[in-house]
A and B are shown apart, each in its own frame.
Chain A
Amino acid sequence: MIKNQWIAWGVTTIGPLHIKSGLPNQDAMLSKKYKWGEIIAVSDGVGSRARSDIGSKAICWSVVQASKILFKSKKIKIENIQIEEFLRLLHSIWLVKIYPYSPKECSATCLFTIRNGDKLLLGQLGDGLIVATSTNSHAEILNDEKEDSFSNVTYSAGSNFYFEQWKYTILDANEYNSVLLCTDGISDDLISGSECDFAKGLYESYGNCKPRKRYYEILHWLKNWPTPKHTDDKTIACLNKVSNNG
């Protein structure tokens, strides 16, 4: 019998600008697997903020903690949660986690995917990219495209919670085999319209790869990113469906 399982993996690396200025990697990535499903969270600390590395780590932990609180009960499924309540809880955890710093110092974006049962919840605050792809034509993209093309305002976690700044979608997990999340250090350099091909290519190349090999190969190409004069930190993470004979 062939069983489908989901695995999560990710790689983050500091960008040339932060190395040069002696600052830490302001991106963060965290993945967890539980009996009820998997979580993967990615964040990009807002560059100009003093403690944004703390903020980005804290928001990844907040996604995990909020999910644990909610999905601990077998009765709770993605399809019957109130997304706004979940995101408000996530934000309230983040405010506590950044202790003793202020939201202003720790501002960070948030991208996450949660698989619970037959559903995938994708959520995004601020820039970066989430792409869910399948072997057929199904594809779903979340990104932070500004409605006003002149706008350069990026949303990020701050003192107050604004539900309208979040993007989210719920997908049928049976129809997808991969969810890719990446920070703008990667997504900004992708040619518009090539996001799905990029995600599919990554799944084909690394979906069934040994973890160690995958980690070092991806780390190598992130460190040797082809865009001239690239500066930003880079984080890429995936939730992949793998088939097991069992």
Chain B
Amino acid sequence: MSTEVNTLWVVADSSGSMGEASKLYILRNLINYIRERLHLSNNNLPFNKICVITWNEKVKHVKIDFQNKLPAFKVSGKADVEKLTQYFDKIPQNNKVKSRLLILSDWQLEKERKNIFINWAKKQNNYSIRVIPIEIGISASKIIKMSSKNYFHPQDISKALSPWEVNTG
């Protein structure tokens, strides 16, 4: 039996704009789905562990387990792109295989901030990145226009998780 740990990193945007409408509730449901599916013995997922971090002016690890209710996500401040990229740059990597990184965010960032993230993502040898935009009323066709490969509609979370092959870094 393989004991290799394959982690899915989940970034939960908890900046102030995530407090609008039902964004936070959607974020919570997506994390809940990942947790419930991962708990199945035959889950058909390419990872066997999840690490959830909240992202606003700080980047914090959140403990998620199957036995307990999901924690309440509190929103405040702005999403700091530099803090996020620094957090992931600091994580020691096994460079043989990229880690999977799933971002759940409404992307309410200034253009300059978005570009910093995009440039960081493009240069990534350590992470394979996928995004689920949490924008109320966003259509599947709009998401396909963004990028059919890396962006997924919230209702298509199962497609975002599997298949998800990662290349050698």
Contact = CB atoms under 8 A, between A and B. Distances in A.
A95 B58 CA distance: 28
A99 B26 contact: yes
Interface stretch (B11-19, B37-45, B72-80, B84-92): B37-45
A82 B35 CA distance: 16
B73 to A, nearest CB: 15
Given A69-B44, A73-B44, A85-B39, A93 B26 contact: no
A88 B29 CA distance: 12
Interface residues of B, number: 23
B25 A102 contact: yes
Contacts of B146: none
B163 interface: no
Given A75-B42, A88-B36, A100-B21, A69 B26 contact: no
Interface stretch (B1-9, B95-103, B112-120, B154-162): B154-162
B136 interface: yes
Contacts of A82: 41
Contacts of A208: none
B22 interface: yes
Nearest to B138: A100
A18 interface: no
A95 B22 CA distance: 12
Interface string B36-67: 11011111100000000000000000000000
Interface in A55-81: 65, 69-70, 72-73, 75-76
Contacts of A96: 29-30, 33, 154-155, 157
A70 B40 contact: yes
Nearest to A100: B136
B108 interface: no
Contacts of B37: 69, 89, 92
A95 B32 contact: yes
A66 to B, nearest CB: 9
A73 B39 CA distance: 16
A106 to B, nearest CB: 12
A93 B154 contact: no
Contact of A97 (B43, B136, B155): B155
Interface of A: 65, 69-70, 72-73, 75-76, 82, 85, 88-89, 91-93, 95-97, 99-102
